[in-house]
Amino acid sequence: ARLWDLTAPDPAAAPIVLRGHEEEIATVAFSPDNHWLVTGSGDGTARLWDLTAPDPAAAPVVVCEHEAVVEAVAVSPDNHWLVTGGLGGIVRLWDLTAPDPAATSILMRGHDGWVRAVAISPDNRWLATGSEDHTVRLWDLTAPDPAAASIVLHGHEEDVEAVAISPDGHWLAT
């Protein structure tokens, strides 16, 4: 991955190169507090690059409980959760407030195909996941066990490759 400084006189001059993934990078996201850049890859890992460190490329936190491509990543507006989605209908929730965010994750099962898109509502309540199984699932992140149940939204005739929640939290677009 490359990190480009848009405040530099010449943004093209000297990107920071972030090395470590063994396959292509499929997705990227910034945390709302600008602490982390998250990259998801075909190698089954997501990496958290610390943008507050003197050298963001030096020592990423690697989260790796996916069997294959990490296709979608998002960080919650309160910077509490990292969500990763990928092959096999797997969604994982990582606690960024933990001393070691990579140590444990919450496994969220339900989709029958690749999870292609993830989004978290501005109030940190809903996680929306879109899949090639033609469904969208809503997970309640405020529930005692967010993985226990999801609301399934039907109606798509093809893969759901994008989900977005409006800034006021009123609408979900798929």
Residue 68: per-residue pLDDT: 85
Helix (H) or strand (E) holding 118: strand 115-120
How many Å apart are CA 40 and CA 29, to the nearest integer? Answer: 9
pLDDT range class, residue 87, cuts 50, 70, 90 = confident
| Residue 34, C-beta contacts closer than 8 angstroms, at least 6 positions apart | 51, 52
**pLDDT at residue 149 in the model:** 87
Helices (H), 49-115: none
Compute the average pLDDT of residues 50-67: 90
Mean per-residue pLDDT of the chain: 94
**pLDDT tens, 115-168?**
999 999 999 999 999 999 999 999 999 999 999 989 999 999 999 999 999 999
Average pLDDT of the segment spanning 85-106? 92
Alpha-carbon distance of 162 to 18, in angstroms, equals: 26
Cα 145 to Cα 112: distance, rounded to the nearest angstrom: 21
Note whether 41 and 21 are within 8 A (CB): yes
Q: Is the pLDDT of residue 65 over 80?
A: no
CA torsion sign for 61, 67, 70, 72 is negative
What average pLDDT does this structure show over 31-58?
Answer: 95
DSSP label at 113?
A: S
The whole-model pTM stands at: 0.92
